[in-house]
Structure 1
Amino acid sequence: MSKVPEERPLHNVQGGSVPRPEYPRPSFVREDWLNLNGTWQFAFDPGDSGLERGLVQCELPDRITVPFCPESQLSGIGDTDFHHAVWYRRTVRIPEEWQGRRPMLHFGAVDHDATVWVNGREVARHSGGFTSFSAEIGDVVRPGDDAVIVVRARDSKEGPQARGKQSDQYANYSCLYTRTTGIWQTVWLEPVAATHLRRPRITPDLAAGCFHLEVPLAGGRAHHQVRARLTDAQGTVAEAVVPAHLDLAPRLVLTVPTERRRPWSPHDPHLYEIHLEVVDGSGAVVDSARCSAGLRSVSIDGKRVLLNGEPVFQRLVLDQGWYPDGLLTAPDDAALVRDIELAQAAGFNGARLHQKVFEERFLYHADRLGYLVWGEFADWGASVGPLSGDNQQQTVGFVAQWLEALDRDYSHPSIIGWCALNETRQELHDRTSTLDVATRAMFLAAKAADTSRPVLDTSGYSHRVPETDIYDSHCYEQDPARFRELMAGLDKNIPFVNPHDVPGAPEHSVPYAGQPYFCSEFGGIWWNAEEAEAGGADRDESWGYGERPRDEEEFHTRFAALAGVLLDDPDMFGYCYTQLTDVFQEQNGIYRFDRSVKLDVERVRRAQQRPAAYETVTEGEA
């Protein structure tokens, strides 16, 4: 693997030590910024009456460490009960050196419904606990002023909001875990000009050897230009300039000369840098930013998913991104890097980023470390029918958040596919259901937002979109011989399809139509050496799939055999093993919850590193 570039330090005017001090948006970087993590005033609001009680205007009684949620230990609170509403307050001085620019307030994520006031004026509302939002506050405060920032976050116990794997009961159980309420990603300020860049969309075009850029702007743009410069370690590679006023999102093409083309891949995660500038009529630069970009392609050829035109078997691991002390929030940036490196050490070349929208810094590290990932939304078990309840039924909010996630993460080369839904259950068969409509809406949203990557309509269970790019199944059969029987038939276009939960009910998935196919969840072997030595543990306290192996040797034998079934199938383009780490009571990780070594990782790596039949089949045979 090639040496990956180091991140350059930025001018963070916040002095001293703050939690999660690193720049939170490394794919779209401005040099000046102010990290607002650290101590905030805080209050629980169990009756959601804080607005009526005047909490926008008054001091709050408690303290919390942002960006950690109040349920986490790292927040300094650690209260894991349900919290229907919480409040935050902090006063910050807008830096004097930002004169002539307008402050922009950013939130990485707030769970679930957020309202933001600055100096008593409402400046933002956002619904959705997994995606970012911002507020331009230049009409409220200016450089040199004090800004009193107040945030209310509502997180109802009931109602159809996307929760991912957050427990709907007081305690953790099954594969549901401690909840997250309120701010759980970095809060920060940056100054922007009256005319400034919005997040660009960078589309690599490997066949033509170029990058296509869409650069949306805010503010007036008469007589302005957008300039782009592509660089690598040798210096400038390409440049382009366009008038800003001729298009809502000015478009540029940066063509890489043949001798400077270096495709991004897991073996060589080469990143170019793109420098963007907005120039006014006098030639002065009014805004600038830099981005990273990888020149790579993802395509489909029959049953094959090709990376840069080559079949790369996707040895994926399920990563739920939970941490013992920070819950959904990594304790530090090094923890994000470590999770990728732990997966790679075990022989995985990528992950399904499962049941949360991961913070941007994880994707940045995946880009630079050559780690393949599938972007996912947080809506596990969304269902329709008498068993569905009201926990995660699809609403228009699901589609809105999904589009926000797609827009935020579009330009990361490490993302090689999208999947909005996970383990949906279709229990109605006599009519088109809301699940059918929502599944199709989220599939079409992804296809409209991104034509450069494949889209899976749902991971496991109820496939409802006939033209889905990818088809998959989840199978936790623990007997390798039986697993081989279930997985057989792909060569005859009759692969394993998850059966319906209700005996005698009609098939709940559209028929397989010859798409690329993978088993996107398997294994999940229940293993904890300490519990095995002690004679076992109650499944309410510890669980995984199947019977616990008698010893570690049996674990490795089972793992190698299960993975071997999928590695031996020339029509299988990949798999996803459950999972990277234990998570609370779920004891089926390759590593423990605290990321300590649990078993012989080198044996896990060797079991996966033998060539997959998919990678050795010739184009004619495929």
Structure 2
Amino acid sequence: MTVDRLPDPLHQDGTYPRPQLVRRHWRDLGGEWEFAFGSDPEQAPEGIGFDRTIVVPYPPESELSGIGDTGYHPVVWYRRSFGPAELAEAGLTADRPRVLLHFGAVDFAADVWLNGRYLGHHVGGQTPFHFEVGGLVAPDGVNELVVRAVDDPLDVAVPRGKQDWKESPHSIWYHRTTGIWQPVWLEAVPGLHVESLAWDTAADAASVDLELVLNARPEGAVWADVRIEHDGELLAESRYRVLDTTSHLRLALSRQRNGQQYEELLWSPANPRLLSATISLDGGDPDPGGDAVASYLGLRTVRTDDCCLLLNDRPFYVRAVLSQNYWPQSHLAAPSADALRREVELILELGFNTARVHQKAEDPRFLYWADRLGLLIWAETASAYEFSARSVQLLTEEWMRLVQRDRSHPSIIAWVPLNESWGVQHISHDPRQRAYSRGLTELTRAIDGSRPVISNDGWEHTDSDLITIHDYESDPEVLGRRYGSRTALDELIAGPGPAGRRIQLHASAPARPIMLTEFGGVSWIDHDVDDAWGYSSARDSADFGVRVTGLISAVADSTVLAGFCYTQLADTGQETNGLLRDDRTAKVPVELLREAIAGR
């Protein structure tokens, strides 16, 4: 495969499941699969009666799946066949003899069989995994793929996020998302190939670091050719000998040494400039043709001082919205690849510059559009509900894989491993839970030290780079006084904060920027919703507009806050406190909201 045949990573249509490591050939296995509910999480595929049809990748609880059963179903089964046509589309040739079977995400634990052979087990409902299946595939025959997913709705040690443990949704929790909910796909590769890659950009140092991971240690002389370009201009090129499975390369961007022009290539919401990259392998046994992949990156830095978040060393005011990224017809799965792009566009059209994707690690295709269109992302994960050795292990392992998966996206400006003490409900007085929070925070910094980390968003911070507060006060005048001066804010942080929670658990914590990262939550709906819920309620459309804009203006007028995050983007089930209805139509004129949010 030659580099000039690779697709352009900066002009994808948003369907490729892994946008920062792109190959030309792949085959989506979405569509109709055979399906069955099960009961025994240890049962083998033999004897399963596949009596239904499901549309993958939509969870069986959802309407788009064709099942729409929201009851308790801790075990589900999937089966489908593929043959020569799918393998040819995936790129299977003599030069690409190995076939990778990819899963974007299966909630929560998955076991996979191909042609009666057990491939393996994966734990973690938000993280991707794959199997190399070339030796098991019949190139000219029919291949049978079977997946078992286990997700016990009563297991509160599992990172569940907003998925309800009760059979019917209540309060701020929603219908469950069980089983396959992100793309399943095939991809053919050479014997020695790129397994993963990550970019670490240091724009002020005029360099880029590449971490390249292969599927095996090279045999013989294997070289990697790396090119970084922008709009046809070559910015850096290097060829180096790959000696191990994981290798690191620092590429100098000589153009960036000119201080009078280096900002032209920096990524920001106002100028989401991305650089394209290609990596090709040359030589080695048994694949003299080598592998080739396309990628992209953005040059930008994110830091904090004692009062501001700094983007590219300039103070940046965060105007964020809490986004559940949940759709009534498909739940945590996006209804289409286009819906992920549209979600980013809607947030920007409302005047926000940041999205806090809440209690969920989103599909990488959403992050791709955030990178391309210039939306900053507050990256979070689903929380567990209990504190135990098992919950610590499950969340830590999944969080590590998520940080590794997403660390190359320039749109991500902060990591949030814990939220509102979920799973660490006694952190204020339990030293083990404080140690867990600090450990997660430091572990995140160890994997990616290029972004701020929030140890526990909302309150009871142990070691955060930003101090974030959640406050659902419904009176704009009260909010204005509470966050209107440094003295008032210091008093709030020193004493019990909103909801009676301490903001910081260390009195001697250094000065940090302060943001109000949850507020608002005004409920109003113009059609019947069972058990409609919000933090406060409006009487009608006009009252809703007055309340929402009043709260946003009161917070935006603060001269001591470094940013805010309004709750929330869209109605979600019975939680009717969105700026938009669940079909993403606005409850009041968008111009009214944008004026309050962005002042334009």
The TM-score with structure 2 as length reference comes to 0.90
Return the alpha-carbon distance in structure 1 between the equivalents of residues 183 and 238 of structure 2.
Answer: 33
Task: After superposition, give the CA deviation of every residue in 1:551-593 in whole Å (9 maximum; x if it has no partner).
Answer: 3333333323322233222331111000000001111111100
Counterparts of 1:188 and 1:204, CA distance in 2: 30
Find the counterpart in structure 2 of residue 41 from structure 1.
34
Q: Work out whether residues 479 and 551 of structure 2, in 8 Å CA contact, stay in contact via their aligned partners in 1.
A: yes
**1:175 is the counterpart of 2:172:** yes
Q: Partners of 2:61 and 2:292 in 1: how far apart?
A: 38
Q: Is the 8 A contact 2:227 2:277 kept in 1?
A: yes
Corresponding position of 1:148? 144
**Contact 2:209-2:248 within 8 A present in 1 as well:** no
SS state at 1:572 partner: coil
Matched, 1:112 2:108: yes
SS in 1 for 2:545: helix
The match for 2:319 is: 315
CA distance in 1, matches of 2:169, 2:55: 24
Letter in structure 1 aligned against 2:241: P
Contact 1:226 1:250 in 2 (8 A): no
Please give the alpha-carbon distance, in whole angstroms, between the structure 1 residues aligned to 2:499 and 2:363.
Answer: 37
Question: Residues of 2 paired with 1:163 and 1:257: CA distance?
Answer: 46
Counterpart of 1:54 (choices 46, 51, 74) is 46
Partner of 1:23: 16
The whole-number CA distance in structure 2 between the counterparts of 1:252 and 1:79 is 51
SS at 2:210 equivalent: strand
Give SS of 1:436's match: helix
Among candidates 71, 74, 79, match of residue 84 of structure 1: 74
Q: Which residue of 2 aligns with 1:439?
A: 437
- Secondary structure of 1:75's counterpart equals coil
Q: Distance in 1 between matches of 2:222 and 2:267?
A: 33
Query: Are the counterparts in 2 of residues 41 and 59 from structure 1 also a CA contact under 8 Å?
Result: no
**Residue 245 of structure 1 is aligned with which of 215, 235, 243?**
243
- Residue 184 in structure 1 maps to residue 174 in structure 2: no
Once residues 108 and 67 of structure 2 are traced to their aligned partners in structure 1, the CA distance between those partners, rounded to angstroms, is 19
Separation (CA, whole Å) in 2 of partners of 1:205 and 1:157: 43
Alignment of 1:100-499 (within 5 A): 100=95, 101-141=97-137, 143-159=139-155, 160-221=157-218, 222-245=220-243, 248-255=246-253, 257-258=255-256, 261-280=264-283, 284-379=288-383, 382=385, 394-424=391-421, 426-427=425-426, 431-433=430-432, 435-463=433-461, 465=462, 467-488=463-484, 490=486, 494=490, 496-497=492-493, 499=496
Aligned equivalents of 1:246 and 1:48: distance in 2? 39
Aligned to 1:579: 568
Tell me, yes or no, if the aligned pair for 2:515 and 2:562 is still in contact at 8 Å.
yes
Query: Which is richer in helix?
Result: 2
Unaligned runs of 5+ in 1: 10-20, 385-389, 532-536, 612-622
Q: Which runs of 4+ in 1 moved over 6 A?
A: 500-503, 505-508
- Letter paired with 1:309: D
CA distance in 2, matches of 1:352, 1:507: 20
8 Å CA contact 1:277, 1:285 repeated in 2: no
Deviation at 1:135, TM superposition (A): 1.0
Residues 585-616 of structure 1, C-alpha deviation per residue, up to 9 Å, x if partnerless?
Answer: 111111100112221111110012239xxxxx
Runs of 5+ unmatched residues, structure 2: 1-7
Deviations 1:475-527 (A, max 9, x none): 00011121123325545772634948998x98873335311110110001112
CA distance in 2 between partners of 1:508 and 1:573 (Å): 17
How far the C-alpha of 1:341 sits from its partner, in A, is 1.3
Deviation at 1:64, TM superposition (A): 0.8
Does the residue aligned with 2:579 lie in a helix, a strand or coil? coil
For residues 497 and 306 of structure 2, what CA distance do their matches in structure 1 show? 27
CA contact (8 A) 2:9 2:296 kept: no
SS in 2 for 1:460: coil
Query: In 2, Cα distance between the equivalents of 1:103 and 1:554?
Result: 58
1:349, CA displacement in angstroms?
Answer: 0.8
Q: Which amino acid aligns with 1:570?
A: T
Q: Name the stretch that deviates more: 291-300 or 576-585.
A: 291-300
3-state secondary structure, aligned to 2:280? strand
Residue 205 of structure 1: how far off its partner (Å): 1.2
- TM superposition score normalised by structure 1: 0.87
Alpha-carbon distance between aligned partners in 1 of 2:562 and 2:491, rounded to the nearest angstrom = 13
Cα shift at 1:461: 2.8
What secondary structure sits across from 1:595 in the alignment? coil
* SS of residue matched to 1:200: strand
Which of the numbers 70, 74, 94 marks the counterpart of 2:60? 70
Tell me the residue number matched to 2:539.
550
C-alpha contact 2:107 2:181 (8 A) present in aligned 1: yes
Equivalent in the alignment of 1:619: none
From the superposition, tell whether residues 93 and 508 of structure 1 become closer, same or farther in structure 2 (CA, over 3 Å).
same
Q: How many Å separate the matches in 2 of 1:429 and 1:588?
A: 30
Deviations 1:121-150 (A, max 9, x none): 221211111111111123322644543211
- The 1:436–1:147 alpha-carbon spacing in structure 2 relative to 1, beyond 3 Å, is farther
